[in-house]
Structure 1
Amino acid sequence: MKRAALIFIFFLGIISFFSDFTHEGARSIYGPYLNILGASAFVVALAAGLGEFIGQALRIFTGIIADKTKKYWTMMILGYSLNLLAIPLLAFVQPSIWWVAVVLILVERIGKAVRAPAKSALTSFTAPHLGAGKAFAINEALDQFGAFLGPLVVFFMISSQSGDALSRYQMSFLLLGIFAIVTLIILFVARLKYPNPDQFEAPKLKPKELTKDKQFWIYMLAISFLAMGFIDYPILAFHMDSSGLVNVIYIPLFYAIAMGVDAIAALIFGHLFDKKGLYSLIFAISIALFSTPVIFLFGDIYFIILGIVLWGIGMGAQESILKAVIANLVSKEKRATGYGIFSSVFGLFWFIGSMIIGFAYERSILFIVIFSVTMEVLSIITLFVLMSHQKKQLNEA
């Protein structure tokens, strides 16, 4: 069974590889592309924040649907189709209708909302055989390897083509459409090979009710602070472009670097999580919180690179450890719902944080730094509270 679970995780990882190659390659140029189309800094922040909010908030509903129906594969096929096929359509947007690009970016995020809880639940079902940290780390590493190569290919596409910037960006979106089709083909093959992956994990006799699970809600508070303070890449990309610190053609390359760091960090921190638990998450946040002051306060390319590396570490921890914690806190029967709530809470506070940061950008860079670091510190404090509660519960058992 362990071997079958491992092969299944690699199957999901390959799907994630091609999926992230596609949508992270696209996301690496969302900020500059909207800028070229004529959107303002606030619109870029709105697209990033609202996209994450919608893409995360809907997961509470898609998670419940996945748990109720057990149609995990159906949710994934529908979600991946929306998530990926919106990207090549961006190639046809013109400056006169720049708002269509914003709509397509939101559709891409909605697609991820449809498939994400089901995919996370399927990944978590292998935890009894592989360990929650390892299961999510393997998936995240392959995921981020694609997220590393996608922006890299986009960078070479943009830098090697002749013509104006708009046409180069649009050609990149069309190329990414090929990888979107490849992803969907592999997804259908996986569905045929593993029709009932939920059988990897046996059901619990007395699953906890999420509404009465104090530890789960303390954890939700911790990730709320984390989400508010963690700045999305389109905002970082807009800053690098508008400040003149980085030539616009190198911005996808910087994103590729971040995704490479993300993949390595996910493996390291996923392994640490199975051994050290929440200490590994606290350690990762403690490192990543320095990314904001390094990127925004030092007008130097080397500090930008350092900040991007720190940001990548934070992303790696988010995508592996945050989900692994849910696998340990929530029973199998409510796992997709748990992931849906988790994602909705995370998305809501990411949206709030993005709006605050977008509004403050043209007013006070220092405020952005103070706000971001403060939120991350509050997240760390809340995680210590959760650990204290867990220890108290173990002592009472």
Structure 2
Amino acid sequence: MASSYIFILLMGVVSLLSDFTYEGGRSILGPYLALLSASPFVIGFLSGLSELAGYVLRLVSGYLSDKLKKPWAFVFLGYAMNLLSVPLLALVPNWQWAGALMILERFGKALRTPSRDALLSQATERVGHGKGFGIHEFLDQVGAFWGPLFVSAVLYYFTNNYRLAFASLLPSALLALFVLFLSKRYHQGNVKTAEDSKEKSKGTHPGFWHYVAFSSLLGLSFVPITLITYHGKVHLGLSDALPPFLFALAMLMDGFSALLFGCLFDRIGFKALALGVVITAIYPYFIFSGSETLFIAGTLLWGVQLGMHESVVRSGVAKLSTPSFRGRAYGIFHLFFGLSVFLGASVMGRLYEILPVLLAVFSIGFQLLSLLILKKVVDHSHPNKGSVLHLF
């Protein structure tokens, strides 16, 4: 079991350094594209296209990883593309080249994520899926917290030198690849592979597709951070420094939430998800209520739900799929979740233009609807407990 913890921690450090790199870069990408003469439409289009392409490609990479039985090849190639694309932005002559690197960065993430999660699930099988993914997500969010702050400091001390800011992320990218190499060496001989495990069945367990439907509804309801920070700045008149600071605090809430709900998942199973949705469902109302105090509280609750998404929701996929099918299972999950997030963000953006409260109603409504689907998953896990009340 100790070897499994070490592997999870090493992969967590890889994610910490990776998030430090690409979240640091993404935090200044909008202003950088504007400096390269990209229009607001182009910035939005490139962001949406790169995210959508990244989620769609996860299904293909997960399938190929399982079929070729070469998960580490996908992990190494994906991380290299994902990480090195960011410092290369320092060299681009125009927004077209920057856009190509944005898509390459998301493509790399799509290539490595299903295989990485499948490898992690082999280790979390021993320590508890919730706890294992929770530890990984906590370290991930430490990087997501410090990366933007580091880039902000570079811009402050070197008079808004964006090219230097991107270039300064090269050391963390290379260090992440080095730790990834150590993780692979430690993984061999310490964690069971799919071939070593004697599976009674191959594929997914009962409840998997209900679980995909549940996570898709949750993705459909998830308010994008860009709308939250826009509302804080434009409608509430917050200072320029406050929204990014709140985002950093939300990332910390994300990390601690991932640990908490991860441990709960190992104790009470899918009921932990129901508890998380009920606790955080009110966050859109808080954010768009017009009160600055409620806006801050809502943003922190948003971070709590994000932590649940990133740890417990991934743990559920491992629980409902067999090891030999897990790359494909994660690919399917990420595909439907990503499409739902993309569609939900588009609809909520339009609703916000009409009336912000409509966005809150849309989000809360789909969160509550997701609980009805989650009941089906709980029914499969605990067939003698059919009442909705048994979710809690």
TM-score (norm 2): 0.89
Corresponding residue for 2:150? 153
Corresponding residue for 1:80? 79
Corresponding residue for 2:171? 178
Q: Are 2:214 and 1:218 aligned?
A: no
Corresponding residue for 2:300? 309
Per-residue CA deviation, residues 47-77 of structure 1 (Å, 9 max, x unaligned), is 4443332212111111111111221211111
2: CA distance, partners of 1:319 / 1:272: 14
Q: Which runs of 4+ in 1 moved over 6 A?
A: none
2: CA distance, partners of 1:313 / 1:155: 24
- SS state at 2:200 partner: coil
Instruction: Report how far residue 99 of structure 1 moved.
Output: 4.9
Question: Aligned runs of 1:231-270 on 2, under 5 Å?
Answer: 231-243=223-235, 245-270=237-262
- Percent identical pairs in the alignment equals 36
Corresponding residue for 1:332? 323
Question: Aligned runs of 1:81-100 on 2, under 5 Å?
Answer: 81-92=80-91, 97-100=94-97
1: CA distance, partners of 2:38 / 2:368: 33
Instruction: Report how far residue 4 of structure 1 moved.
Output: 1.1
Contact 2:141-2:252 within 8 A present in 1 as well = yes
Corresponding residue for 2:20? 21
Instruction: Report how far residue 152 of structure 1 moved.
Output: 2.3
1: CA distance, partners of 2:241 / 2:38: 18
Per-residue CA deviation, residues 21-55 of structure 1 (Å, 9 max, x unaligned), is 11222233445555666666665554444333221
Corresponding residue for 1:55? 54
Instruction: Report how far residue 222 of structure 1 moved.
Output: 0.5
1: CA distance, partners of 2:14 / 2:32: 26
Corresponding residue for 1:140? 137
Amino acid at match of 1:365: P
Corresponding residue for 2:103? 106
How many correspondences in the alignment? 385
1: CA distance, partners of 2:209 / 2:184: 33
Q: Are 2:360 and 1:369 aligned?
A: yes
Contact 1:64-1:337 within 8 A present in 2 as well = yes
2: CA distance, partners of 1:35 / 1:359: 23
- SS state at 2:288 partner: helix
Corresponding residue for 1:295? 287
Corresponding residue for 2:203? 209
> Could you tell which deviates more after superposition, 253-262 or 132-141?
253-262
Contact 2:7-2:186 within 8 A present in 1 as well = no
Q: Are 2:228 and 1:229 aligned?
A: no
Contact 1:56-1:347 within 8 A present in 2 as well = yes
2: CA distance, partners of 1:215 / 1:280: 16
Amino acid at match of 2:253: V
- Check 1:237–1:181 CA distance in 2 against 1; reply closer, same or farther (3 A cut): farther
1: CA distance, partners of 2:372 / 2:66: 32
Aligned match for 1:284, one of 252, 276, 289 = 276
1: CA distance, partners of 2:158 / 2:111: 38
Instruction: Report how far residue 13 of structure 1 moved.
Output: 0.9
Amino acid at match of 1:206: K
Amino acid at match of 2:330: Y
1: CA distance, partners of 2:36 / 2:355: 25
Aligned match for 1:199, one of 176, 192, 196 = 192
Contact 2:206-2:320 within 8 A present in 1 as well = no
- Check 1:114–1:269 CA distance in 2 against 1; reply closer, same or farther (3 A cut): same
Greater RCO (Cα-Cα under 8 Å, separation 6 or more) = 1
Corresponding residue for 1:6? 5
Aligned match for 1:189, one of 170, 182, 187 = 182
- Check 1:200–1:209 CA distance in 2 against 1; reply closer, same or farther (3 A cut): closer
> Could you tell which deviates more after superposition, 194-203 or 8-17?
194-203
Contact 1:44-1:234 within 8 A present in 2 as well = no
2: CA distance, partners of 1:102 / 1:246: 30
> Could you tell which deviates more after superposition, 133-142 or 267-276?
133-142
TM-score (norm 1): 0.88
> Could you tell which deviates more after superposition, 186-195 or 173-182?
186-195
Instruction: Report how far residue 169 of structure 1 moved.
Output: 4.2
Contact 1:28-1:151 within 8 A present in 2 as well = yes
Amino acid at match of 1:180: A
Contact 1:41-1:358 within 8 A present in 2 as well = no
Once superposed, what is the RMSD of the aligned Cα atoms? 2.6
Unaligned regions of 5+ residues in structure 1, if any? none
- Check 1:305–1:320 CA distance in 2 against 1; reply closer, same or farther (3 A cut): same
2: CA distance, partners of 1:92 / 1:356: 36
- SS state at 1:392 partner: coil
